[in-house]
């Protein structure tokens, strides 16, 4: 079987999770090509080398640019902070490499637009690009999408989406790069809210057209990582709340925060339609709550669908019913879909244009918050 | 024991529930006076008479004004639609009767302000008035208030409140008075949202200072009740969504709808603070989810507190632990508190001024929605 | 409307709950006769008088035998401990009174058999008798019975039933009458297990034919109520566990205990059949979990049916969907059914023969436990 | 780093899951040696070769006996049906290989005893052996063990354990090897019940001393796999129910079945002690319900502990809080513990003697069921 050479850039949390997925995917799914974990790139040589050994990469490099020139590398997987995405991705695409890029796609609409433009050019040459919104590959959510697509919810009226974490509850937690606008772009908005925006647009197969938003920074100064007795300014949002409208007529509430004490990874989505509803919470990621409005009233209620049946998305490759999956399986699914797409020459989804679409919503959120929450249209939207 | 004569106005859903509470309260709680279910008032004589017999009232009347002149009536309990609240309540107060009034207090800020002014005058003469936000008397929510008051949540950061019902999902459901602005004032906003506003202000002991809102009417025309083949215009909101800020610094999302397929009476509130969180859903009304942030991380998690212990609010009068209460018990609690307050001459809570405060928030919501969701200050608020 | 005079014997916990139901039933349900709360009987005159005033009875008496001679008393409702049930019930039936008797029917099979025999004689004269297994009247469980009756579960394979409380966890809790065999008959077995036996036989419309049992007393000595520094022997079971078979082929596990720390009133029943399953926990009494095996695998799962729809048993008389009921509503339902039955001359269910059937199962449990858990047939069973 | 050569025997469901764990463990945990996936053994050469390629083994073999002679193989991992465990394990131990053996350890006490004896001999020579009860390595259950060990539950009173699946609900499901006594040893008892027995003994660090049991085969004839129009006899139990006592005084109910419609992998355990309780259901494997009896009554309740904190067992190696794990992670943990133990020369747990102990309980269950459920002591137990 032909090999698909992969270079991964970045080896922190996301790099480790992607590595696990690259190591696993070919042993679980039938793939048209064989992923080859060629090289791991990092900023510092020694750290990259140690990470490569630990995470299962053949080689390491401190110079991603040189890696782009290698013939045995066909894919570049970008797991760095958001401020370097556009440079690496555009260079990789220009070098004829397929690109998988962590979310959010970029730190600004301008960067994202440039990336999407480059991706479009590359696509004409058969080069694929994808943004790593892994939650689309939670089987329960992929199932939700199928149910909505088949009309089981009827006309969608309501979306309520919240992504709740609590790791900033302590005001003494340090000022990491995730709290600095120049590195992270934004705070809860880009880190958590971006997932919500992509997921809800995916589930409904629809676009957000406008928003009214509030941003809040509860703790404006935090201890520096390097020098804990000094503090620095938090320059991103601690929490983001917004209402939104979809082109298809649904109204929505969104909320992203790292101050929801006791909620660890509470990505929650509920969608209500004229014929039924779905509800999901990532903390119980194998479960989809599904209300079928066509059930007889007397025996109707939200069904706790355990999304582990052979007929559920991605499950054919795994275990018998009830043998639940975890967070890292979503990346294995994502990479499986990416590999299948690039091997067949069809565009992987979500593409950079989807990432741009998300970025434009985040941008509208920030603009609305800056002008007294006034209703703000998403640029480039359908309507 | 001295008697407390009661006149009830209205005998539809709310009238029946209040009647159950008046019949029950004296047999369960130790009261300083004995409620006497003197007279039930309705618009039509025959209907009122039949209802009085069924619901346990000694007499009936089609003329509430004459009832106000009776010496054996000390309390007027108003269970009519919102458009008649202010007339009845003001007349009753002027006649020296204590008043318990269903929510929302009125259909406009002007009416509510007039009522609150009259209530304040009456209070000087020892006359009590109260607005019937019964959900304050859910033991689990009264417990939540106690926990917050005692500082168990620390500084409150987030409120998320939703009241989800689904009885309008069917576009063929008829155009009742609840869908007509001139009778009901507003739609989901006043019917459901009013509860959320009062409850969250009560739980936090804080005030909403501003909002940014969206109103939506999904089904603008519905069949007439009298003539189902014709349709009439729905003149209220089907759904209301808004973000808000509290004086104390918390940010909030609110949502009220009757289009959440499969949700029957899903009044849900979650509050996150710097030290802990609470979460509640009326569909499981005996449960309070409580996260104590001071628990050791390894054995911490949301506790499902079954609010049926003898030490929980109102429970001393009822059953052993685990013998759960229902919807109507909240009214028995409400009337217990009302009776105790008026008998002792202390002002019952929530008073008409609390009702006015809620009305002002609803008004700000409508004004914000009318001007592109712009941030809108609540009138008369603290800040 | 004709009056139905009622005498209640006993005014502790059960007496208070029955009183609430008698006070309420005629105001909520359409009844063919009007219950008249004539007289409350107790052992001590002053206590009975005070209780009558508090609970809403016209008169009181310390001599239940004389009450049986009153013409204005048509019903005797027995809420005393189990050791007096048979004397009162038999005397009342001989006096031509309808009898409602708290569970368990008696403290021994012999007593229960005598009561059932008397009830059968009385039935020939149109006199009704009923044992107060109130949990049959939980709407969610009445719905479960309907679903099973209609074949929605197919052939029943499994029953697992547990009744979990925790009020004896503390070894210093005093030695009340419930821990003395001569007053209570048995411990967790008769108090809690009796409910499980009746309910499962009711749900399946089937009979338990044999059992294998273990009884356990964890804390054999407890402080005396009267003299806390002395202790007395606990002469009943703290916990009962048994396996069982039903005539129709189902196998079952049963467990009753007051030592399940954190479980307050955890009456839990799960039934699995060839076509579906139901599961229930009284701590969430408005919910029935229902798995319909005929749903498509991909969208199937246990449905959380909120048993508050107008089409659910008893709900027509109450509130809109989602406005949940509590423990005391089950007694109102029970008394509604009792009144309707005796007024129409049809035998109320469960009758004393059902109570006897339960008693025989409890007896088989005790006999099995006494002979090394050997399989023990239930006397008088179908097979 | 030194290599630890591994031979895996069997490549069906369990073989695939173990392979995933062997591939993953060294990349996630810091190990003292480097696992080397040397050879995969199967009965048929071509199938083994294909499986080796798919699952990541360097070589394949149809002759496990010859593999035992290889110097580069240090570990034999047995994933075959139970009837071949003893032969392979004993041979491997005699050849000086560490052995990891799937559960149940054997199909009879005699086989298990021979294996345990051989394991004891091998242990003297520094050879480790372990039985693969993977559920001990669910973080939530490992946490439960810690809590019980630290006395957080006080004195244990109750255990209720059930393992509920539903893949035999359909009477037309074929007669696989799992339904044949000569291959599988027993049915639900050995397949599912064995897990419950091991887990509860592990959690309590205690031994089951006696049982009273019922076995049931609901569908005695099923279609042959090879010839679906003919049927063959089911020679194992479809369901097993038993009560049990632990040496430490706890009483227990156990149930294992494949007929619980709608339950997919419902391994449920609840333990109640004098100071607290825990409850678990594998379908929500990341959650431990924990009741701390020392909490104030007013704010106490079962805590939903999401066992994904860095301080929880095994979690240090994985993801941030709330990023849940799945079924296969339990095998990675198991193999991590196995590798660490054999590398350090300390005996891995659970050892073959633990497996034997489980086998003796299963045997007592079968003997009790064969003699009218009479109480039956577990052989070789402490008491």
Kindly determine whether residue D255 and residue C257, on different chains, have CB atoms separated by under 8 Å: no
Q: For residue B151, what is the DSSP state?
A: T
Give pLDDT tens digits for D4-57.
Answer: 999 999 999 999 999 999 999 999 999 999 999 999 999 999 999 999 999 999
> How confident is the prediction for chain D on average, in pLDDT?
96
Does the residue C382 lie in any domain? no
- Domain-embedded: residue B100: yes
How many Å apart are CA D219 and CA D201, to the nearest integer? 31
pLDDT for position C345: 94
Sorting pLDDT into bands at 50, 70 and 90, what band is C231? very high
Which residues in B lie closer than 8 A to residue D294 (C-beta atoms)?
A: none
Does B256 reside within a domain? Answer: yes
**Residue that finishes a domain, picked among B101, B134, B167:** B134
Q: Report pLDDT for D383.
A: 37
Question: Which among A35, A16, A8, A39 is positioned nearest to D29, based on CA atoms?
Answer: A16
Q: How confident is the model at residue C382, as a pLDDT?
A: 45
pLDDT tens digit sequence for C351-370 = 999 999 999 999 999 999 99
Condensed to tens digits (0 to 9), the pLDDT of residues B191-220 reads 999 999 999 999 999 999 999 999 999 999
Q: What is the pLDDT of residue B383?
A: 37
Contact state of A304 with C299 under an 8 Å Cβ cutoff: no
What is the reported pLDDT for D152?
Answer: 98
Query: How confident is the model at residue B381, as a pLDDT?
Result: 56
Chain D residues whose CB is inside 8 A of the B305 CB are 298-301
Decide which of C115, C134, C153 is a domain's last residue.
Answer: C134
- Mean pLDDT value of segment A186-207: 97
User: Could you tell me if C131 and C351 are in contact, meaning their C-beta atoms sit under 8 angstroms apart?
Assistant: yes
pLDDT digits (tens, 9 = 90+) for D122-148: 999 999 999 999 999 999 999 999 999
In this model, does residue A236 exceed pLDDT 70?
yes
Residue of A nearest to B219 (CA): A157
B383 within a domain of the structure (yes/no)? no
Residue C162: alpha-carbon gap to chain centroid: 15
Q: Which residue has the tokens 């990505």?
A: A267
Q: In whole numbers, what is the pLDDT of chain C averaged over residues?
A: 96
pLDDT in tens, A20-64: 999 999 999 999 999 999 999 999 999 999 999 999 999 999 999
Q: Inter-chain contact B297–D303, Cβ cutoff 8 Å?
A: no
Give the mean pLDDT of C219-241.
95
Tell me what pLDDT residue D228 has: 86
> Is residue D1 very low, low, confident or very high in pLDDT (cuts 50, 70, 90)?
confident
Q: Where is pLDDT greater, at C228 or B72? A: B72
Range of the domain at C102: 3-134
Work out the average pLDDT over A128-143: 98
Domain match, C162 and C40 both: no
D382 lies in some domain: no
Q: Quote the percentage of chain A above a pLDDT of 90.
A: 95
Residues 6+ apart with CB under 8 A from C66: none
Chain A with chain B: Cβ pairs closer than 8 A: 139
- How many domains does chain D fold into? 2
pLDDT, position D224: 95
Asked if residue D73 lies in contact with residue D65, where contact means CB atoms within 8 angstroms, the answer is no
- pLDDT single digits (tens) C95-150: 999 999 999 999 999 999 999 999 999 999 999 999 999 999 999 999 999 999 99
- Judging contacts by C-beta atoms under 8 Å, the chain D residues touching residue C209 are none
Give the per-residue pLDDT at D381: 56
B174 and B188 together in one domain: yes
Of chain D, the percentage scoring pLDDT greater than 70 comes to 99
CA B118/CA D342 separation, integer angstroms: 84
pLDDT mean over D221-239? 94
Stretch D91-115: mean pLDDT, rounded?
A: 96
Same domain, yes or no, for A154 and A179?
Answer: yes
Using alpha carbons, list the distances in angstroms from residue B179 to A8, B184, B370.
58, 7, 19
Contact C152, A299 (CB under 8 A): yes
Asked if residue A302 and residue A283 are part of one domain, the reply reads yes
| D73 found inside a domain | yes
CB atoms closer than 10 angstroms to residue B205: 11
Instruction: Examine the domain organization and report whether C89 and C161 are in the same domain.
Output: no
DSSP state of A100: E
**DSSP class of residue C350?**
S
Residue count (chain B): 383
pLDDT at D380: 82
- Residue D316 is given by DSSP the state G
Asked if residue A67 and residue A195 are part of one domain, the reply reads no
Which residues of chain B form beta strands (DSSP E)? 3-9, 34-41, 59-61, 75-78, 98-101, 129-131, 156-164, 208-216, 221-223, 231-233, 239-246, 251-257, 266-273, 276-281, 287-292, 302-306, 376-377
Q: Which residues of A touch B255 (CB under 8 A)?
A: 158, 160, 253
Does position C383 have pLDDT exceeding 70, yes or no? Answer: no
CATH of the domain at B20: 3.40.50.720
Closest CA–CA distance from residue A291 to any residue of chain C (Å): 8
Domain match, A199 and A338 both: yes
pLDDT band at residue A219 under the 50/70/90 scheme: very high
Q: Domain for residue C381, yes or no?
A: no
CATH number of residue D189's parent domain:
3.30.360.10
pLDDT value of position C1: 83
Q: Do residues C240 and C102 both lie within one domain?
A: no
Q: DSSP assignment of B349-371, as one string? A: SS-HHHHHHHHHHHHHHHHHHHT
- Of D100, D134, D168, the one marking the end of a domain is D134
Is the Cβ pair D241, C261 closer than 8 Å? no
Interface contacts (A, C; CB < 8 Å)? 54
C283 CB neighbours in chain D (<8 A) are none
Same-domain check for residues D180 and D267:
yes
Token pair for residue B117? 């002014």
pLDDT digits (tens, 9 = 90+) for C166-214: 999 999 999 998 999 988 889 999 999 999 999 999 999 999 999 999 9
In the predicted structure, residue A381 carries a pLDDT above the cut 60? no
Q: pLDDT by residue (tens digit) across C54-100?
A: 999 999 999 999 999 999 999 999 999 989 999 999 999 999 999 99
Interface confidence, given as ipTM, is 0.96
Burial class of C62 by CB neighbour count within 10 A (0 to 12, 13 to 18, 19+)? middle
Answer yes or no: do B214 and B125 share one domain.
no
- The H helix count followed by the E strand count for chain A is 11, 17
> B264 and B252, same structural domain?
yes
| Interface touch D305/B303, C-beta < 8 Å | no
Note whether residue C65 is domain-resident.
yes
How far, in Å, CA of D112 to CA of D353, rounded? 8
**Under-50 pLDDT residues of chain B:** 382-383
pLDDT of C381 higher than 80: no
Residues C108, C242, single domain; the answer is no
């Amino acid at each position: 079987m032909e090999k698909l050479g992969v270079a991964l850039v970045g080896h922190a949390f996301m790099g480790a999770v992607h590595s696990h997925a690259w190591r696993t995917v070919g042993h679980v799914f039938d793939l048209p090509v064989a992923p080859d974990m060629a090289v791991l790139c990092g900023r510092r040589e020694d750290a990259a080398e140690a990470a490569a050994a630990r995470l299962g990469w053949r080689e390491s490099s401190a110079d991603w640019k040189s890696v782009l020139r290698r013939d045995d590398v066909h894919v570049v997987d970008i797991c760095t902070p958001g401020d370097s995405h556009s440079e690496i991705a555009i260079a990789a695409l220009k070098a004829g490499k397929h690109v998988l890029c962590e979310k959010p796609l970029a730190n600004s609409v301008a960067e994202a637009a440039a990336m999407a433009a480059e991706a479009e050019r590359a696509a004409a040459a058969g080069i694929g690009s994808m943004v790593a919104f892994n939650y689309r590959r939670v089987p329960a959510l992929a199932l939700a999408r199928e149910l909505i697509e088949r009309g089981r919810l009827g006309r969608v009226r309501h979306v309520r989406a919240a992504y709740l974490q609590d790791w900033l509850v302590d005001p003494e937690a340090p000022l990491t790069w995730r709290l600095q606008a120049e590195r992270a772009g934004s705070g809860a908005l880009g880190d958590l809210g971006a997932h919500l925006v992509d997921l809800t647009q995916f589930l409904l197969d629809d676009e957000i057209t406008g928003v009214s938003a509030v941003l809040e920074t509860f703790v404006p100064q935090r201890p520096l990582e390097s020098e804990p007795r000094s503090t620095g300014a938090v320059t991103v949002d601690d929490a983001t709340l917004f209402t939104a409208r979809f082109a298809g007529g649904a109204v929505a509430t969104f909320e992203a925060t790292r101050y929801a004490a006791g909620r660890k990874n509470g990505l929650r989505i509920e969608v209500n339609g004229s014929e039924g509803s779905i509800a999901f919470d990532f903390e119980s990621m194998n479960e989809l709550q599904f209300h079928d409005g066509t059930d007889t009233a007397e025996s109707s209620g939200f069904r706790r669908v355990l999304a582990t049946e052979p007929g559920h998305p991605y499950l054919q490759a795994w275990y018998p019913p009830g043998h639940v999956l975890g967070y890292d399986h979503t990346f294995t699914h994502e990479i499986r879909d990416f590999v299948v797409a690039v091997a067949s020459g069809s565009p992987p989804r979500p593409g950079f244009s989807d990432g741009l679409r998300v970025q434009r919503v985040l941008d509208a959120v920030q603009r609305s918050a800056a002008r007294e929450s006034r209703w703000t249209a998403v640029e480039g939207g359908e309507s």
